[in-house]
Chains A and B, each alone.
Chain A
Amino acid sequence: MSNPTTVDRTSEREIVVTRTFDAPARIVFEAWTKADLFKLWWAPKSLGMHLRSCEMDVRVGGGYRLEFGQDAANAMAFFGTYTEVTPPSRLVWTNDESDDGPVTTVTFEETDGRTRVVLHELHPSKEALDANIGAADGLPEQFEQLDELLVTLGASA
Chain B
Amino acid sequence: MVQHTRLDASFSALSDATRRGVLEQLGRSDASITELADRFHMTLTGMKKHVGVLEQAGFVTTQKVGRVRTCRLGLGRLEEEAAWIERYRQLWAARFDALDAVVEDLKRKEKIDE
Residues of A whose CB lies within 8 Å of any CB of B are 2-12, 15, 17, 19, 21-23, 27-28, 30-31, 37, 40-42, 44-47, 117, 119, 132-134, 139, 142-143, 146-147, 150
Contacts and interface: CB of A to CB of B under 8 A. Distances in A.
Contact of B104 (A6, A23, A45, A147): A23
B68 interface: no
- SS class, residues of chain B in contact with chain A: helix
B96 interface: yes
A5 B87 CA distance: 12
B95 A15 contact: no
Contacts of B85: 7-9, 15, 133
A130 to B, nearest CB: 9
Contact of A47 (B94, B100, B102, B103): B94
A2 B97 contact: yes
B97 A46 contact: yes
Given A19-B96, A37-B102, 20 more contacts: A3-B100, A4-B93, A7-B92, A8-B85, A9-B2, A10-B2, A12-B2, A17-B92, A21-B103, A23-B104, A23-B106, A31-B106, A40-B102, A41-B96, A41-B99, A44-B94, A44-B95, A133-B81, A133-B84, A143-B87
A interface SS class: mixed
Given A7-B85, A146-B87, A42 B95 contact: yes
Interface residues of B, number: 28
B55 to A, nearest CB: 14
19 contacts: A2-B100, A5-B93, A7-B85, A7-B89, A8-B85, A9-B81, A9-B85, A21-B99, A27-B107, A27-B110, A31-B106, A41-B102, A46-B97, A47-B91, A47-B94, A132-B84, A133-B84, A143-B91, A146-B87
Which of A5, A8, A45, A143 gathers the greatest number of chain B CB atoms within 10 Å?
Answer: A5
Contact of B107 (A3, A15, A17, A23): A23
A27 B106 contact: yes
